[in-house]
């Protein structure tokens, strides 16, 4: 089985575990998928501000990657702190009907599955941090590391022929913003909101698509963008 296709299947298993609330096992499966994909060797590059990224929507290929989200465990703890970027607490996966050749034979497909895996790793750590306040900082730092690696991979996927896979990048940037705002890092949170606004503007996947997934990103941009004081966690 081709590495990317196998990692795609492992990610589907991990998503089911996340839905069940089995976070520890989900992390193990996700790391196995990353090792299989050799995504762990991808070096994190310095992230660029959105205005420095050149994209074109003329030859959009992202619609060939059928990416969906599912809610994480129905938990009793809140994902929202007062005045912070609202967290996107949904796991991501590619539908089984996605052409395996697209995943395994193109840089866009391989990088997208790597970013999805890293996003799901970050999501699990972030949920663990919310669930267990005594270990919140460590879990949030682990989540941020995974998100940053995922964001760097997607930035390297930008070309004149492709724009970023919208839902994946929005999910990553949004949850980075949640962590930054939780720790009162207003400038960094605003940088994430800049990215959200940029992706919503250039991604055909979100055009006219005020679906449940995209509503939270639109809401964060509309209510918080340009308001640095508003995204700092309440004392």
Rounded-to-integer distance, Cα 77 and Cα 84, Å = 16
What per-residue confidence (pLDDT) applies to 73? 67
Low-confidence ranges of the chain (pLDDT < 70): 1-2, 38-66, 73-83, 96-108, 157-165, 203-212, 227-235
What per-residue confidence (pLDDT) applies to 180? 95
Pairing of strands 90-94, 67-71: antiparallel
What per-residue confidence (pLDDT) applies to 143? 97
Residues whose CB is less than 8 angstroms from the CB of residue 25 and which lie 6 or more positions away in sequence, other chains included: 17
First-to-last C-alpha distance (Å) of the chain: 51
**Single pTM value for the model:** 0.81
Contact, 163 vs 203, CB < 8 A? yes
Looking at 3.90.930, 1.10.3470, 1.10.3450, 2.30.40, the CATH number of the domain 3-41+58-231 comes to: 1.10.3450
pLDDT tens per residue, range 106-151: 666 778 888 999 999 999 999 999 989 999 999 999 999 999 999 9
pLDDT tens per residue, range 10-22: 999 999 999 999 9
Both tokens assigned to 77? 């703890």
What per-residue confidence (pLDDT) applies to 45? 45
């Amino acid at each position: 089985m081709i590495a990317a296709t196998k990692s795609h299947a492992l990610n589907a298993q991990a998503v089911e575990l996340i839905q069940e609330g089995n976070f520890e096992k989900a992390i193990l499966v996700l790391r196995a998928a990353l090792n299989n994909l050799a995504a762990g060797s991808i070096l994190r590059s310095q992230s660029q501000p959105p205005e420095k990224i050149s994209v074109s929507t003329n030859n959009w290929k992202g619609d060939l990657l059928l990416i969906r989200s599912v809610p994480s465990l129905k938990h009793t703890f809140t994902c929202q702190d007062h005045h912070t970027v609202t967290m996107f607490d949904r796991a991501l996966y590619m539908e089984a009907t996605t052409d395996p050749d697209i995943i395994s034979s193109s840089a866009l497909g391989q990088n997208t599955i790597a970013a999805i895996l890293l996003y799901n790793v970050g999501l699990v750590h972030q949920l663990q941090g919310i669930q267990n306040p005594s270990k919140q900082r460590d879990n949030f730092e682990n989540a941020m590391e995974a998100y940053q690696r995922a964001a760097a991979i997607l930035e390297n996927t930008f070309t004149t022929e492709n724009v970023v896979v919208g839902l994946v990048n929005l999910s990553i940037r949004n949850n980075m913003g949640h962590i930054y705002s939780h720790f009162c890092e207003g400038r960094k949170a605003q940088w994430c909101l800049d990215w959200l606004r940029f992706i919503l503007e250039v991604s055909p996947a979100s055009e006219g698509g005020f679906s449940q997934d995209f509503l939270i990103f639109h809401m964060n941009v509309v209510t918080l963008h340009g308001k640095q004081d508003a995204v700092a966690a309440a004392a």
